[in-house]
Chains A and B, each alone.
Chain A
Amino acid sequence: MAEMTGQDRAGERAPAPRGWLRDAQLVGAFVLRRVFALMVTVLIGVYLTIVVANMGGQVDELREIQIRSDVSEAVRADPEIPAEERGEMVERRVQMERERLNLDQPFILRSVDYLRRAMLLDLGRAEQMHSDLGSRQVYAIITERLPATILLFGTANMLVFFASIFAALGLSRRYGSLTDRTVIGLAPSSAAPGWFYGIFLILVFAFIVPILPAGGMVAVPPPESPWAYALSVMRHMVLPVAAMFISSIFISIYSWRTFFLIHSSEDYVEMARAKGLPSGMIERRYILRPTLPPIITSFLLMLIGLWSGAIILEQVFNWPGLGTLLFQAIGHRDTPVIIGGVVIFAYLLALTVFLLDFLYAILDPRVRVGFEGGER
């Protein structure tokens, strides 16, 4: 649908043969450029993380400990080595390992190695934590928790996004009405983050009027049938999603309402009104269509904010996602998991940016006709 309208418009301006193929090429080139730029960005971001993490020699220390424990385990498992020689043997092997892994090199060189490992998501081994399946790999621990986070935040973000756009369109039509003023008056409520409303929601709906679970993702023990399981997850999702919804809905409605108001006074909208087009069509074609790219940008900024808020919201609701994992890692002082968490969050943010860039490329006709100013 979006493809069609865009093509029509491109066609009106200058008839181009085989429009969609050229469009795809331009979009493809744009996306490739963005992927490359984002990879470089992630590279720098992760490198900065490593440098910050290693300023106190933390990462080095961790690797040293891991090598030592591996080596002494291997030495102890070998019955050939007499007990009195073991200590010396361990020292010698640790030294060899250190040289083999270039730990005796200056940090500048080693940091490149750390960077390579982090980019390949080889995040090392956790000190104390392990995944539910028993793996000690940080990567396994994190990927196990990722779906829960994506489920919760995906749902909440989508709800907020669509609800606020429709509400904002409705309000901009009824500018100055009581509903409009009420929503505007409620906008300051978004000063508090989701977890904050979560505390109140738990207090009210789980303790004072106990109708919903206070935390967790499924009932204990988990229901057998998949339907009951899904239902249980949904019941547990109500409060955290509501908390996020309350904390960001009014501010998004507010900002988009303002935005639509500004755009609905443009000359071409007045023109469409004068032509007598139905208001639904005016909204879709004349207001929503040209404002979509900025809307997407602000959606991106909101998403980034929400990813960060995720940590505490999950912890408040005991939701077994990345945030709770990070919180547990703080409790255990499990540094590899914390650093791994930062790297994964950086990837997630980059992925978010990329997805929205991709949408941008499809939605913004300037990209398709090869008129990309480069600046937004």
Chain B
Amino acid sequence: MSRWSAGLRQMRRYPSAVAGMAIIVFLVGVAIYTVIALPYAQALDAWRGGDQWRMHPANASPVWTDRIAGGNAPPTITVARDDDATETETFEGGQRLRLPLAFDYDYDGFPTELTVFLRAEGMERPAFVRATWLRPDGEEIALGGHRISDGDRLSISQDTALEDRLGAVPHIGLFSAEPGARPPEVLPGRYELVLDAIVFDEDARLDADLVAYGRVHGLAGTDHQRRDLSVALLWGTPIALAFGLLAAVGTTVTTLIIAAIGVWYGRWVDAIIQRLTEVTMILPILPVLVMVGTLYSTSIWLMLGVVILLGIFSASIKMYRAMLLPIRESPYIEAARAYGASNIRIVMRYMIPRILPVLIPTFVTLIPTYVFLEASLAVLGLGDPVLPTWGKVLNDAQSEGALYNGYYYWVVSPAILLMLTGLGFALFGFALDRIFNPRLRSR
């Protein structure tokens, strides 16, 4: 045991080990925070996408990248019904409502979309809504009338008649300082959307949310399905760590035990293990995973199982074997036999512990390999169908042509997290290698 604590003490002398350890601690911290703050079921549900993201912009970049570059791109502005400003006028069999939705707009770009979400409760007949756009320069633009049933939306951006009238896409035309200017410029100031509604029910309530979709969103931005990328980036951490750790444990421990058994029993046991190793050496891991993924399922647990199965008889068996062969002949093993230790006891208690120090650095450097393997599968489109992972973000980005469209954040942020994981474990593992392998240390 003192050997281990001595090793740990030595670790402090290697800056790379400290750096690697810091990265690993950070990642583990993120993973624990994620699992607590955003429960599994909730994350899965969020990542499934759909209507819950309707208030989010599509393909918005992170806020901080824009601000660092000195930009002032608009975030998403949501204006809900303000009860104080709402004027209600009841008449026989219904009510007349006036909902002003006002907001300040002072950004260097146009919104990407303009939509009004309407929620009408307790109505038997559809309400009638007339919308008017009030600009800071006093101009009034009529946006037409609409018949509203329960839970409807006014997609102002897709109003082609309005587009023809403005001479530009509505979300640009409505915010332009000078209509028809090339390129269009934003008119800063206070905008107001007034909804004049007639509801055919005295007790009914009409709620409205105006959403001016921005060009930047949150810490991580959003993807083409309006999903907040931070969900996948955060949840990718525990998944990547768990997959890497389980696969590394599964392959190294079983490989070591099998190598030790082969060396101890020798003869035909050893021969079979050797031949099986040669067979798995020619089985290409990734194509086999691709085959299993296409033919059966792409569940991450099945993939993990196949990775471990293929990893058991990997080439490292030969390496362990070479290390274990001299150990088999050493006097302390003979002593153990003399006192009557069973075969299993010799293998588990006397042979394996001897080469554990060599194994630990390999084990640590193996973790990122499997993290990247999982990402590789996801990039190939064989990621787990429901889990949000870094690889799946990369895959989405690639299939949506993120680089061609200039959405660099979409590729760079999962890539940086992957790199960080790889680097953390590799730095730590390499330092461990130097500490635990005296052969290298003596140099």
Pick from A175, A304, A330, A348: contact of B290, CB below 8 A. A330
Asked if B368 and A45 make an inter-chain contact with CB atoms under 8 angstroms apart, the answer reads: no
Interface status of B35 (Cβ within 8 A of chain A): no
Asked if A311 and B287 make an inter-chain contact with CB atoms under 8 angstroms apart, the answer reads: yes
Choose the segment among B113-121, B341-349, B420-428 that binds chain A (4+ C-beta atoms closer than 8 Å). B420-428
Interface of A is mostly: helix
Asked if A333 and B380 make an inter-chain contact with CB atoms under 8 angstroms apart, the answer reads: no
| Complex CA–CA separation, A339 to B283 (angstroms) | 12
Cβ contacts under 8 Å, A191 to chain B: 365, 368-369, 372, 422-423, 425-426
**A 170-217 contacts with B by CB, 8 A:** 175, 185, 187-193, 195-196, 199-200, 202-203, 206-207, 214
| Complex CA–CA separation, A38 to B282 (angstroms) | 9
Interface status of A111 (Cβ within 8 A of chain B): no
* Known pairs A188-B426, A191-B365; A338 contacts B284 (CB<8 A): no
Asked if B382 and A196 make an inter-chain contact with CB atoms under 8 angstroms apart, the answer reads: no
| Complex CA–CA separation, A45 to B283 (angstroms) | 6
Pick from A214, A308, A335, A349: contact of B403, CB below 8 A. A214
Pick from B278, B296, B368, B379: contact of A195, CB below 8 A. B379
Choose the segment among A4-12, A52-60, A74-82 that binds chain B (4+ C-beta atoms closer than 8 Å). A52-60
Asked if B281 and A49 make an inter-chain contact with CB atoms under 8 angstroms apart, the answer reads: no
Cβ contacts under 8 Å, B418 to chain A: 192, 196
Cβ contacts under 8 Å, A312 to chain B: 286, 376, 379-380
A315 → B minimal CB distance (Å): 7
Asked if B380 and A53 make an inter-chain contact with CB atoms under 8 angstroms apart, the answer reads: no
Asked if A56 and B380 make an inter-chain contact with CB atoms under 8 angstroms apart, the answer reads: no
| Complex CA–CA separation, A88 to B292 (angstroms) | 36
A62 → B minimal CB distance (Å): 11
- Closest B residue by C-beta to A57: B295
Interface status of A44 (Cβ within 8 A of chain B): yes
B240 → A minimal CB distance (Å): 13
- Closest A residue by C-beta to B366: A191
Asked if A308 and B286 make an inter-chain contact with CB atoms under 8 angstroms apart, the answer reads: yes
Interface status of B64 (Cβ within 8 A of chain A): no
Interface status of B440 (Cβ within 8 A of chain A): yes
Asked if B296 and A203 make an inter-chain contact with CB atoms under 8 angstroms apart, the answer reads: no
Pick from B283, B294, B372, B429: contact of A49, CB below 8 A. B283
Asked if A338 and B294 make an inter-chain contact with CB atoms under 8 angstroms apart, the answer reads: yes
**A 80-125 contacts with B by CB, 8 A:** none
**B 273-327 contacts with A by CB, 8 A:** 275, 278-288, 290-296, 315, 318
Choose the segment among B222-230, B332-340, B407-415 that binds chain A (4+ C-beta atoms closer than 8 Å). B407-415
- Closest A residue by C-beta to B283: A45
| Complex CA–CA separation, A179 to B425 (angstroms) | 23
Interface status of A230 (Cβ within 8 A of chain B): no
B391 → A minimal CB distance (Å): 10
B180 → A minimal CB distance (Å): 33
Interface status of A341 (Cβ within 8 A of chain B): yes
Interface status of B439 (Cβ within 8 A of chain A): yes
Asked if A48 and B279 make an inter-chain contact with CB atoms under 8 angstroms apart, the answer reads: yes
* Known pairs A48-B279, A188-B427, A196-B419; A330 contacts B287 (CB<8 A): no
Cβ contacts under 8 Å, B157 to chain A: none
Asked if A349 and B284 make an inter-chain contact with CB atoms under 8 angstroms apart, the answer reads: yes
Interface status of A292 (Cβ within 8 A of chain B): no
| Complex CA–CA separation, A110 to B278 (angstroms) | 25
Cβ contacts under 8 Å, A45 to chain B: 279-280, 282-283
- Closest B residue by C-beta to A47: B279
Interface status of A301 (Cβ within 8 A of chain B): yes
Asked if A192 and B287 make an inter-chain contact with CB atoms under 8 angstroms apart, the answer reads: no
Asked if A188 and B294 make an inter-chain contact with CB atoms under 8 angstroms apart, the answer reads: no
Asked if B279 and A330 make an inter-chain contact with CB atoms under 8 angstroms apart, the answer reads: no
Asked if A56 and B288 make an inter-chain contact with CB atoms under 8 angstroms apart, the answer reads: no
| Complex CA–CA separation, A187 to B439 (angstroms) | 19
Cβ contacts under 8 Å, A304 to chain B: 281, 315
Cβ contacts under 8 Å, B278 to chain A: 37, 41
Cβ contacts under 8 Å, B293 to chain A: 330
| Complex CA–CA separation, A331 to B294 (angstroms) | 9
| Complex CA–CA separation, A376 to B317 (angstroms) | 12
* Known pairs A191-B425, A333-B294, A338-B290; A301 contacts B315 (CB<8 A): yes
Cβ contacts under 8 Å, B283 to chain A: 45, 48-49, 342, 346, 349
B100 → A minimal CB distance (Å): 45
Interface status of A326 (Cβ within 8 A of chain B): yes
Cβ contacts under 8 Å, A42 to chain B: 282
Interface status of B350 (Cβ within 8 A of chain A): no
Interface status of B173 (Cβ within 8 A of chain A): no
* Known pairs A191-B422, A346-B282; A331 contacts B381 (CB<8 A): yes
B109 → A minimal CB distance (Å): 21
Interface status of A231 (Cβ within 8 A of chain B): no
Interface status of B13 (Cβ within 8 A of chain A): no
* Known pairs A203-B403, A330-B294; A192 contacts B439 (CB<8 A): no
Cβ contacts under 8 Å, B254 to chain A: none
| Complex CA–CA separation, A335 to B372 (angstroms) | 25
Cβ contacts under 8 Å, A37 to chain B: 278
Asked if B285 and A308 make an inter-chain contact with CB atoms under 8 angstroms apart, the answer reads: yes
| Complex CA–CA separation, A42 to B294 (angstroms) | 23
Interface status of B72 (Cβ within 8 A of chain A): no
Interface status of A65 (Cβ within 8 A of chain B): no
Interface status of B149 (Cβ within 8 A of chain A): no
A199 → B minimal CB distance (Å): 6
Asked if B415 and A52 make an inter-chain contact with CB atoms under 8 angstroms apart, the answer reads: no
Pick from B288, B380, B404, B426: contact of A190, CB below 8 A. B426
* Known pairs A56-B296, A191-B422, A261-B443; A350 contacts B291 (CB<8 A): no
| Complex CA–CA separation, A315 to B281 (angstroms) | 24
| Complex CA–CA separation, A274 to B311 (angstroms) | 46
| Complex CA–CA separation, A55 to B296 (angstroms) | 9
* Known pairs A56-B295, A185-B16, A315-B380; A353 contacts B411 (CB<8 A): no
Asked if B443 and A341 make an inter-chain contact with CB atoms under 8 angstroms apart, the answer reads: no
* Known pairs A52-B291, A192-B418, A342-B291; A311 contacts B369 (CB<8 A): no
Cβ contacts under 8 Å, A44 to chain B: 275, 279
Cβ contacts under 8 Å, B419 to chain A: 192, 196
Interface status of B430 (Cβ within 8 A of chain A): yes
Extra contacts, 12 of them, besides A191-B425, A196-B372, A330-B380 (Cβ < 8 A), are A48-B279, A53-B295, A58-B295, A175-B443, A202-B403, A203-B408, A207-B404, A301-B315, A308-B284, A311-B380, A330-B381, A353-B281
- What are 28 A-B pairs with beta-carbon distances under 8 A? A37-B278, A41-B275, A41-B279, A45-B283, A49-B283, A52-B288, A53-B291, A189-B423, A189-B426, A192-B418, A193-B376, A196-B418, A199-B394, A200-B415, A202-B403, A207-B406, A262-B443, A308-B284, A309-B376, A330-B294, A331-B381, A338-B287, A338-B290, A338-B291, A338-B295, A341-B287, A342-B283, A345-B287
User: Chain B: residues with CB nearer than 8 A to chain A?
Assistant: 16, 20, 275, 278-288, 290-296, 315, 318, 365, 368-369, 372, 376, 379-382, 394, 398, 403-404, 406, 408, 411-412, 415, 418-419, 422-423, 425-427, 429-430, 439-440, 443
3 tightest Cβ-Cβ pairs between the two chains A and B: A188-B426, A191-B422, A191-B426
